[in-house]
Structure 1
Amino acid sequence: MTAVLDAPVCRPTRIRALAPVSGADIAVPVAGSAPLRYANLDYAASAPALTAVADQTAAALTEYASVHRGAGYLSQVTTARYEQARETVRAFVGGRADDTVVFTRNTTDSINLAASVTPGDVVVLDIEHHANLLPWARTGRARVVSSKATVDETIFALDAELAAAPAALLAVTAASNVTGEVLPIARLAGLAHRHGARILVDGAQLVPHRAVSIASFGIDYLVFSGHKLYAPFGAGVLVGRSDWLDAAEPYLAGGGASAAVGIDEIDWHTGAARHEAGSPNVLGVISIAAAAEALCDIGFERIGQHEEALVRRLDEGIDALGHVRPLRIFDDAYGRVGIAGFVVDGYSPRQVAEHLSTRHGIGVRDGKFCAHPLLAKLGHPDGAVRASFGVGTGSDDVDRLLDALAELAPTSR
C-alpha cells in the first residue's frame, strides 16, 4: 500500500499542542515496526483528560464522601465542592443568575431530561445526533425539518415550520459531530423567540472548542458532556430556565429529589435537586468544573486559533490528495470546530480506520456517528471516517494522518 512520492511534501511551521493531556505519550503497537506514539484523533467521541483535570480529580479522592446529607467534615467538604461546581459551570457558559444547573450522566441524559419537561411540540433538524432526535421522537411531538444546501435556506425552512403551528421548543445542535460545521446559535435563538418558542442547544461538540454565553446568545437550555470537555468521568450538564424544570415531575423518583415522603403523599424539591435523585457522580462533576477552569486558563481565543490552524492544515492536505472526499452539510457554514468527516475512494470506512490504526497508530472513528439520517442525506448510508482533535493535538498528528491517507491513493494499490 505504500505510495512513492515524487518530491518531499513541504508543510507549514510545526504547531504544538496547547495543553498536556493524559496518555499523550503512550506508545501503541503497529504492524511492521516498533510501537509508535498514539495519535489520538477521536476527540469528538471522548476527549482525553486534561492533565490538570486528572490531577484535580485524583486529589479530590482524598476528601471524597457523600454529599448533601452528611454532617461529617469530609461530607461537608465534598458537598461544598459539588455545589461550587454548579457556579463554576454557570459562569463557564455565561448562564443567567436564575438558571438551574442540573448534573446528569451525559448529553443524551440531559436531552432526555429536557424532553420530559417540555410542554409542547419540538422542532428539530434532520442533521442531528440521535441524542437530539430520539428523545423528542419518543414523545410523539417532534416535527423534523429537512436541512437545505445553505444555512440561510435552512433557517428559512425552520422559520416556516415555526410559523405554521405553535411549538414549545426549537432543539438544534451547535456544531455537527460529523463535519464540525457550526450553526449561528444567537440567530436561531432570535428566530425561536420571535415565534414564542424556546431554544435548546446541544453544545456537546461546541463547548469544548469555543466560548459560549447562554445569556448573550439567548439560549434557554444548553446541554453538554464532560467526556467531550476533557473531563471523561461520566457526567453531563443541563443549564437553563427553571420554570419548566420546577413544574415537571421529577426525572427520577428517589432520595434527594424528595423533601418529605409519606405513604400517601410526596413533597418534591424544586431546583436542581428535583432532577438529581440518587447518589450523584461527584467526581464527574468535580472534573467538569476543573475542565471549565482549565479551558478558561488556556483561553478560547487561543483554542480557536490553534484549532483553526489545524483544520486549515488538514483541509489543505486532504484537497491535495484528491482521493479523499470531505463531508459538508452546508455551502455557507459559519466555520468549523476540530472535526473532519471524510470518505476515501475505493475503501470502506472500516478499512480506512483499520489501516490508520494498525499501520500508523492513529485513532479515528468510523461508522455513522449516531447520525444515521445525516449520513444517508450526505450520500454515505454505510458510514464515513471522522478525525477530530483539540488542545492536546499538534500538527505532527495531522501530518501523520495525511501521510497515512496518501498510502491509500488508487495508484498505490
Structure 2
Amino acid sequence: MEHINFLSPYKDFVVGVDTKVPLADQTFTTAINFDNAATTPPFDCVMNDLVEFSPWYSSIHRGAGYKSQYSTKLYEESRKIISSFIGADMDYHSIIFLKNTTEAINKLSNKLLALHKDGVVLSTCMEHHSNDLPWRNKYTVDYIAVDKYGELSMEDLKNKLISYGKKVQLVTITGASNVTGYINPIHEIAELVHQHGAKLLVDGAQLVPHGPVNMKPVEHPQHIDYLVFSAHKMYAPFGTGVLIGPKDTFRESPPDYTGGGTVQFVSHDHIKWLDPPEREEAGTPNIMGVLALSSAIKKLLSIGMAQVESYERALTRHAYESLSNIPNVELYTNKSHLHRTISIIPFNIKGLHHSIVAAALSKEFGIAVRNGCFCAQPYLQRLLNVSAEDSEEYMKDPTLPMPGMVRLSFGIYNSIEEINILTKALFHISRNRDLYLQKYNIQEI
C-alpha cells in the first residue's frame, strides 16, 4: 500500500471538520464523517464564493438590470465549466440544471417517451432506486444480473442485448455502486450498447466526485450518451443536479414541467417553446446551487481528479485491511477488486443489527456512517441472500427489522487517523456485543 499522510492534506478545504458533537455520556468529541456517499460537507471556498456573490444575486434571464445580467452570465458560464469537467460538447449536448440526480433521471425517463415509448430499457440489479423506479411505469424494463460478488455481469448484458435485439433503446447503469463502490466499465459498456443500436445513460452520482470522468467525443464508439450527477455529493450544497444529453432528445416533446422560463411565445391558441436547455428549467433556477457546483468543480480540478481518486483509494485500502482484522466483521466488497472501487466499504458485525452498530458508532464515538439498504433494496437482497419468501414477510410486516449493512464512505478530507479511531471503536463494539444489544433497541433507533 502506498504511503499517505496520517492526516489529510485536504482537511482544511472543507467546512465543519472540527465540529464537536455530543456523546451518550454527555461529553463532546470531534465529529468524524464517514457518510460522504450520501452528502459531502461543503468546500470552504464554495461558501466564500457564494458570500462574495450574494450582493450581486438576482433573478437570471430576461432581466435588464446589471445584477440580473451579471447573474445570468455566471449561470451560463457554469455550463461551460461543467462541459469542460466531464468532456461534453456544448454544440451537441444540453446541460440542464435540476435539483439532484433523482430529478434528472425522472426528467430523462419522461423525455425519452417521445422517442422510445415501446422500447425496452435495460437497468441492472445493482442500481439505486432512482435509476430503477422512474423507468418501471413507462417502459418494458429488464435487469442485467450481478455475480456472487455483486459485480455487473457483462455476459448477461451481452445476452440481453442479443435477446431483445432492436427493442433495446436504452441501457441505464450506475457508474459506481453506492453500496459496494464497484466501478462499472462504462466506456466498454457504451461501445457494446452502441453496437446494438441503443444508447447509454450513466448515473454518475457516485462516480463523478471520485475520479476522472470523460464522456468522450460524440463520434467515438465509447461515447457516453447521457450523464447525470449531483452537486451535494461533491462538496457543493444548495441542491443542484445535472442532466447532460443530446439537444435533440429535449426538442422532441414539450417540457415535462411547464411555466415561466420555458417559452418563447404564448397566446391562448399557441405555444412556442424555448430551445433546450432553458425549456427544461421551469421557474426561477437555483443560481446559488449552480454557482456552488462550479466553485466545487474548480477546487476539485485544482487538486486533480486523478489525485482525488488515488488518495481516496489509499484510504479505502487501509480501512479494508483494518476492518479485516476485527473479529466478527463481515465485509461485502471483494478485496481483490479494490482497485476498481470508489471509496465505499459495506460491512456488518455478526450478531448485531446494522442499526445498532451505526447508533453505537454515533452515540459512543461521534462517528457518522449510514446503515440500511441505501435506497438499493434489490441489490442488498442479493448480496445478503434474502429469499423471495423472506421478502414477502417484510412486505407483510413493516415492524420486522429490515436486513441491511453499515456503509463507510470516504472523502478527500478524511484521514488515516480517523480510520484508526474507527477501527478501535469497532473492536470495542465487536468485543462487547452483549452490552450494545442491551443498550440499543432496534425498534427505537
Above 0.5 in TM-score?
yes
Alignment-mate amino acid for residue 400 of structure 1 = I
CA distance in 2, matches of 1:39, 1:151: 28
CA distance in 1, matches of 2:322, 2:337: 21
Alignment-mate amino acid for residue 365 of structure 2 = H
C-alpha deviation, 1:153, in angstroms: 7.0
1:110-129 superposed Cα distances (whole Å, 9 cap, x missing partner): 00111012232211101100
With normalisation by structure 1, the TM-score equals 0.93
More deviation in 194-203 or 145-154? 145-154
1:218 matches 2:227: no
From 32, 57, 62, the counterpart of 1:69: 62
Call closer, same or farther: CA 1:68–1:180 in 2, change over 3 Å: same
1:59 matches 2:48: no
Alignment-mate amino acid for residue 117 of structure 1 = K
Alignment of 1:257-268 (within 5 A): 257-268=262-273
1:54-98 superposed Cα distances (whole Å, 9 cap, x missing partner): 111222211100000100010001000100011111111111232
1:318 matches 2:323: yes
What is the SS of the residue equivalent to 1:139?
A: coil
With normalisation by structure 2, the TM-score equals 0.87
1:201 matches 2:202: yes
C-alpha deviation, 1:33, in angstroms: 6.4
1:199-234 superposed Cα distances (whole Å, 9 cap, x missing partner): 000000011101100116510110000100110110
CA distance in 2, matches of 1:218, 1:329: 29
CA distance in 2, matches of 1:39, 1:213: 32
Q: Which residue of 1 aligns with 2:361?
A: 356
Q: Which residue of 2 aligns with 1:390?
A: 411
Q: Which residue of 2 aligns with 1:171?
A: 172
Contact 1:149–1:331 under 8 Å retained in 2:
no
Contact 2:316–2:410 under 8 Å retained in 1:
no
Q: Which residue of 1 aligns with 2:144?
A: 145
1:35-72 superposed Cα distances (whole Å, 9 cap, x missing partner): 11100111000110011111112222111000001000
Q: Which residue of 2 aligns with 1:47?
A: 40
C-alpha deviation, 1:32, in angstroms: 3.1
Q: Which residue of 2 aligns with 1:25?
A: 18
C-alpha deviation, 1:131, in angstroms: 0.4
Contact 1:182–1:334 under 8 Å retained in 2:
no
Q: Which residue of 2 aligns with 1:100?
A: 94
What is the SS of the residue equivalent to 1:285?
A: helix
What is the SS of the residue equivalent to 1:340?
A: strand
Query: Please, what is the CA RMSD of the aligned residues?
Result: 2.0
Q: Which residue of 2 aligns with 1:154?
A: 153
Count residues with an aligned counterpart: 403
CA distance in 2, matches of 1:353, 1:360: 10
CA distance in 2, matches of 1:330, 1:395: 19
From 281, 287, 293, the counterpart of 2:286: 281
Alignment-mate amino acid for residue 98 of structure 2 = T
Call closer, same or farther: CA 1:333–1:311 in 2, change over 3 Å: closer
1:330-376 superposed Cα distances (whole Å, 9 cap, x missing partner): 97576111111111111111100110001100011111100000110
More deviation in 54-63 or 145-154? 145-154
Q: Can you give the 5+ residue segments of structure 2 that lack an aligned partner in the other structure?
A: 387-402, 435-445
